[in-house]
Every structure is written in structure tokens, then in C-alpha cells.
Structure 1
Amino acid sequence: MRFLKYFLVFAIILAAAGIGVYYVGTNIASDKIVEEATSELAESGKMDEIKTYVEKDPQLSGYIEEAKEAEGRDLPIKTKGEATRVLIQKVGISELKTMQSEVKKGTMTQQEAIQKLETQLSEEEMLALKVLAYKELYKQQ
């Protein structure tokens, strides 16, 4: 009986630590990835190219306009860490990596990747992701 008590306490502590690492880890990882990508793009001068590309593409510019309008709303995803967790839970890491590599290779267009995400996320979640992307792209400076 005593062994069972210690085992349950150990299991609860281990589970709490795992959950804590998951939440803290996704926040740290997402912040680090976005920070590195943003600084790399800013240093190489490609941030302006990306903004120009987004503004010239009618679908992407529509997403940006939609994000501007929704910026003040109460959305289900408010931080990059929350966005990372939602994407991992609903899409999966392996699927995200596959989509990334297919877009890089040119076997999948960006619009196809967005449509795939739209089928796996709710409208509110997609809108929240658009708002986060808008903030990262235009509010960074």
C-alpha cells in the first residue's frame, strides 16, 4: 500500500513536470524560432521583399487586411506559444514539416498549404494566426 502511494505521488509529479515542460517549451521554442527568423530576414534585407510579395499577392494581401480588421478582437490564440501548441495538436509536427518541405521544393503552393491548414483549424483559429503573422510582419519595427 505504501509503495502504491509513493508511485502515485511520483506519477503525479512526473505528469505535472511533463505538462509544464510542454507549455514552457513550446513558448520558448516558438519565440526563439520567430525571433531568429525575423532577425535573419531583417539582416539580409529580405523582410521588405516578403512585405512586397505579400502585398502583391491578392490572396495574401486579403489575409493581411482581414488580420488588420480583427486585430482588436478576442481570439482563441493570443501568443506565438499558443499558436505553436494549437498547430502541434491539430496538424502535427510531422505534417507541418512535410508541408514546409513540399512548399520549399515547389511541389505544394503556399495557397495549397493554407487551404490544408484551413481544413484542420477553425475559422477563429485561422484568423488568430493571420493576426499573429500580421503583427510579426508589420509591427516588428
Structure 2
Amino acid sequence: MKILKVLIVLLIVLFLGAIGVYYFGTNMASEKIVDEATEKLDTSGQMENIQSYVEDDPELSGYIEEAKAADESSLPFNSTGQATRVLIQKVGLTELNNIKSGVENGTMSHQEAIQKLEQDLTEEEMLALKVIAYKEIYGKQ
């Protein structure tokens, strides 16, 4: 009986630890990845290229205007960590990797990538992603 109690307590502790690692791990990892990518783009001068690409594309510039006008207090998430968890839960790591690979190698346009995300996410979640992207591209906090 004593062994059973110890085993149950151990399982509860392990379960809570796994939840903590998932929650804080995804948050820390996504923030670190975004920070490193943003810094690399800033130092290489490619951030200006991205900004001009977004501004020259009517669809993408429309997304930026949506993000500027959004009421951030009503969004389902406001950080890259929260966005990462939602994307992993709703889209899945495999599909996200497929989208990334497709865009990188040119077999998928950014419109197709956005359409795939729109299939799995709500309008509010998409707007939250647009706001996060706007903040990262234009350095707004």
C-alpha cells in the first residue's frame, strides 16, 4: 500500500514536470529562436528586404494594416511562446515543417501557406499571428 502511494505521488510529480517542461520549454525555445532570427536578419540587413517585400505585396501589406488596427487585448495570445503552443496543438509539428520546407524550397507560395494555416486556425488566432509578425518585422513592442 505504501509503495502504491509513493508510485502515485511520483507519477503526479512527473506529470506536472512534463507539463512544466512543455509550457516553459516551448515558450523559452520559441522566444530564443525568434530573437536569434530577428537579430541575424537585422545584422545582415535582410530585415529591410523583408519589410520592403511585405510592403510591396498588396496581400501582405493588408495583413500589416490589419495587425496595426487590431485590439491586442482581445487576442487569444500575445507572445511567440503562446503562438507556438497554439500552432503545435492545432496545426501540428509535421504540417508546420512541411509548410516551412515548401516555402523555403519554392514549392509553396506564401498565399498557400497562409491558406493552410487558415484551415486550422480561427480568425482571431490568425489576427494574433499577424500582430506578432508585425511586431517582429517592424520591431514594435
Fold-level similarity (TM above 0.5): yes
Deviation by residue 1:87-138 (Cα, 9 ceiling, x = unmatched): 0101111111111111111111111000000010000000001001111111
Once the two structures are TM-superposed, the CA of residue 139 in structure 1 deviates from its matched residue by: 2.4
1:57-136 map, 5 Å: 57-136=57-136
Once the two structures are TM-superposed, the CA of residue 4 in structure 1 deviates from its matched residue by: 1.3
Once the two structures are TM-superposed, the CA of residue 71 in structure 1 deviates from its matched residue by: 4.4
Structure 1 unmatched runs, 5+: none
Structure 2 unmatched runs, 5+: none
Secondary structure (helix, strand or coil) at the match of 2:75 reads coil
Deviation by residue 1:22-47 (Cα, 9 ceiling, x = unmatched): 11101111111101110110111000
TM-score, length-scaled by structure 2: 0.96
Deviation by residue 1:58-111 (Cα, 9 ceiling, x = unmatched): 110000000000044421011111000000101111111111111111111111
> What number of residue pairs does the alignment pair up?
141
Q: C-alpha separation between the residues in 1 aligned to 2:45 and 2:91?
A: 31
Q: C-alpha separation between the residues in 2 aligned to 1:81 and 1:122?
A: 18
1:20-31 map, 5 Å: 20-31=20-31
TM-score, length-scaled by structure 1: 0.96
1:10-21 map, 5 Å: 10-21=10-21
Aligned letter for 2:63?
Y
CA contact (8 A) 1:71 1:131 kept: no
